[in-house]
C-alpha cells in the first residue's frame, strides 16, 4: 500500500489567483502522476514524473505546471486560476512489486472551485 | 496504446442482488488489470488486481473479477450487493507500466 497525501482537500478561490496543490508520499516511489477528474467522469492524465527533475505532460492539455525537486513531493501549480479549472485533482504514485508489476495508488484528491 | 471499455456508465441493482460490472480491454498480450472504487469526494481505492497468478481474483469488500483472455474481459462481480457498495468503479489496464483507465461505471444500490 501507499500513503499519499494531498492538501488542501477543498479550495475555493477567485479568478486570477495563483494556487499550488500539494501532493506527497512517504514510500519513496519514483513515479508520480496528476489526474484531472470532473465529478463522476473519467480520469485525464495531465502530468507525470518518473523521478527527481523529471516531469512530462500527459494526454490532456493543461495550463498547470509541476515540479519534482524531491522524490516525495510533486506539487501542481496554476499561475492564474480560471473557472474552467474547476475540477477534482487526483495525485497518484506507483508501487513496483518484486515481479516488476506496477500498481497505482491514489491520494484523496483536491476539489477546486474557481469563482 | 491500450483502450479500456466499461459497458454501462450506470448500473442499478437491488440490495442483495448480484453485481456485475463489465470491462473489456484491447491487447494482444495479457496486460495487468485493475479495478478501483471511488466514493464521493474521495480518491480511487484499489479493489483488486490481476497479476497472472490466477484468472479469478478476489478483492476487498467481497468483490472478485475473472480474467478471460479469449474474451479480453475482466468483469467485476459481487454475489450480494450492499448499500455501501454504491460508488463509481473504474477498470484500468497497465501495459509496459503505462496506465489506462475506463470511463467508469456508477453503481446504484436500491434498498
Q: Do B92 and A102 touch (CB under 8 A)?
A: no
Q: How far is CA B21 from CA A106, B10, B28, B63, B71, in A?
A: 21, 10, 22, 11, 15
Q: Contact A38/A19 with Cβ under 8 angstroms?
A: no
Does residue B27 carry a pLDDT above 80?
Answer: no
Mean pLDDT of A59-76: 92
In B19-78, the residues whose Cβ lies within 8 Å of chain A are 32, 34, 36, 41-46, 49, 51
Per-residue pLDDT tens digits for B33-58 = 999 999 988 899 999 999 877 889 99
Residues of A with CB under 8 A from a CB of B: 4, 6, 31, 33, 40-43, 45, 90, 92, 94, 97, 99, 101-109, 111
Q: Give backbone dihedrals phi and psi of A4, rounded to 5 degrees, phi first.
A: -120, 130
Amino acid at each position: 500500500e501507499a500513503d499519499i497525501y494531498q492538501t488542501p482537500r477543498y479550495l475555493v478561490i477567485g479568478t486570477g489567483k495563483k494556487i499550488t496543490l500539494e501532493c506527497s508520499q512517504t514510500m519513496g516511489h519514483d513515479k508520480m502522476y496528476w489526474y484531472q477528474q470532473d465529478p463522476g467522469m473519467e480520469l485525464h492524465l495531465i502530468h507525470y514524473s518518473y523521478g527527481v527533475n523529471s516531469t512530462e505532460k500527459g494526454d490532456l492539455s493543461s495550463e498547470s505546471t509541476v515540479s519534482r525537486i524531491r522524490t516525495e513531493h510533486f506539487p501542481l501549480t496554476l499561475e492564474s486560476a480560471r473557472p474552467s479549472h474547476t475540477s477534482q485533482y487526483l495525485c497518484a504514485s506507483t508501487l513496483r512489486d518484486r515481479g516488476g508489476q506496477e500498481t497505482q495508488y491514489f491520494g484523496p484528491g483536491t476539489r477546486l472551485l474557481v469563482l | 496504446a491500450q483502450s479500456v471499455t466499461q459497458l454501462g456508465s450506470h448500473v442499478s441493482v437491488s440490495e442483495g442482488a448480484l453485481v456485475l460490472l463489465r470491462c473489456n480491454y484491447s491487447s494482444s498480450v495479457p496486460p495487468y488489470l485493475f479495478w478501483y472504487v471511488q466514493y464521493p469526494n474521495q480518491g480511487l481505492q484499489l479493489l483488486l488486481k490481476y497479476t497472472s497468478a490466477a484468472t479469478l481474483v478476489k478483492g476487498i469488500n467481497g468483490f472478485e473479477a475473472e480474467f478471460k483472455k479469449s474474451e479480453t474481459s475482466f468483469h467485476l462481480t459481487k454475489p450480494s450487493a450492499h448499500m455501501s457498495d454504491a460508488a463509481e468503479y473504474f477498470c484500468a489496464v497497465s501495459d509496459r507500466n503505462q496506465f489506462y483507465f475506463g470511463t467508469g461505471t456508477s453503481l446504484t444500490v436500491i434498498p
